[in-house]
Amino acid sequence: MESGTKKKKKMDYYFTEDLMLNILSRLPLRSITAFVLVCKEWKTIFESQSLHELSKSHHQNFHTTSWSLMCRDTHKEVAHYRCETWGLQQSLGSYISSFLAHTFKIHKDKVTVEAYTDVGLILVSLKPNHYFVANPISRQCVELPPLPRLQRPLTADIFRPSALGTQTENGVVLSYKVVLMNKKSMDTGEITLLIFSSMTGFWNLNTLLSPVPLCHVNWFNPVSLNGGNIYWLGSTRGDHDVVVSHNLYATGTEYDRCRVIQFPDVENNVNFRRACTTSQGSLMYMNIIKEDKDDGSVEHKLCVWKLKNEEWQIVSSACIKRGVDYFPLVINPFDANIMYLWNEMHKCFVSNNLTKGKFGRHKNLECSSDGVLSFARDWNPFEDLFDSFFSKFALPRSLHRFPTSYSRERYSVKLPMDML
């Protein structure tokens, strides 16, 4: 004990806190994840805002981070963007599967990832009706309180996990909300939500009021933006596809209201199911439309819009040959000028630079150098393009733990050495 005290004093003597911050800020975040486990003093340093700001200055690519494209149907990783900021040895999909196997062990066959975020958190369900919020890289995982008992005609088993919303500041997760939606919304258009808040530690029931009558709302695979804005696909009684949005952190008269936004191409002939995604903190919409020309020919256009102040702004529009062969997948979360598509004719992934109008074809890659999106070699679920749903999962730019004051952590598993 005395020897340990002397060593600590000796280390403090040679390394001031400023010097330690300067040295540690140059390490990849993957290494820092391991050092957090050393002691409370180191944990405090590694989760400090000072280290976060210094890391930003030393890492050239700190404005980006590792991210993956996940297939919600198969729960497999479609593509992975490797970034030096974290310095991960494996893809994010490998970390997620390893985390689930080590954390839930004999129950892993009953576990499903229900929602992904761009701040490193995932929503996990364990049948029946047990929910967890977790960071699969740091292995922090908490179990949410049991679902409340509801008076009929509502019962807990008719709610389905829909979304995980977050609030962050300088890369630190301040709070999050888990959203379950009444599955009858699929048929009635009446939106009833069970919402768990990390700030209160309770589930609350909330029925949203719509400005126009809805006949259908998809509870599954919504788009979630940081700040608590959730976007579901729905349709009105006039059979028009719309975006239904709600701010989970709204107060006053907006607390129980949703907004209905029409798509910008309602009068055009669309070829594919409407695809929404996020990029640089905004909701993006992409589709391929066809226009009949005066000479009788048909022209296909790849169009991308951004939602700003509840209005769609066109970002890009370019002619595309044989538009029926392309399926828009996702836009780069950190560069809104780059989007990725699937080419059904050539059975390959394609990237498109929206500003230059250039297409680049990718064969199925297993791995690549830093800064390039890599596609899984053995992944090909496009037997029916219209039934596949995709989500982006991105790592945070800091190692702060997400709030758990309402409940003790039920699971906390150290990373295996082969994952570090």
Is 95 within 8 Å of 108 (Cβ atoms)?
no
- At residue 367, the 3 state secondary structure works out as coil
Q: What is the pLDDT of residue 299?
A: 81
Q: What is the DSSP string of 199-213?
A: TT--EEEEEPB-SS-
Q: How confident is the model at residue 105 (pLDDT cuts 50, 70, 90)?
A: confident
Strand partners, 316: 304
Q: Is the pLDDT of residue 48 over 60?
A: yes
Q: Is the pLDDT of residue 289 over 90?
A: no
Domain ranges of the chain: 2-56, 67-262+389-420, 265-386
CA–CA dist 27, 22 (Å, integer):
10
- Dihedral Cα 287, 293, 296, 302, nearest 10 deg: -20
What percent of the chain has a predicted confidence (pLDDT) above 70?
A: 76
Q: How many CB atoms lie within 10 A of CB 46?
A: 25
Q: What is the pLDDT of residue 91?
A: 82
CA–CA dist 228, 164 (Å, integer):
9
Q: Is the pLDDT of residue 413 over 70?
A: no
Amino acid at 206: N
**Mean pLDDT, range 97-106, rounded to an integer:** 89
Residues 297-317: tens digit of each pLDDT = 778 888 899 999 889 999 888
CA–CA dist 95, 70 (Å, integer):
13
Residues 143-175: tens digit of each pLDDT = 999 998 887 677 777 899 999 999 988 777 889
Q: What is the pLDDT of residue 40?
A: 73
Residues 178-208: tens digit of each pLDDT = 999 998 888 888 899 999 999 999 999 999 9
Q: Is the pLDDT of residue 348 over 70?
A: yes
Residues 6-45: tens digit of each pLDDT = 444 444 445 677 777 777 777 766 666 666 667 777 777 7
Query: Which has more pLDDT, 360 or 227?
Result: 227
CA 344 vs CA 322, 365, 370: distances in Å: 10, 17, 27
**Nearest to 158, CA basis, from 124, 187, 117, 122:** 187
Query: Which H or E run includes 188?
Result: helix 185-188
Q: How confident is the model at residue 1 (pLDDT cuts 50, 70, 90)?
A: very low
The pTM (predicted TM-score) of the whole model is: 0.82
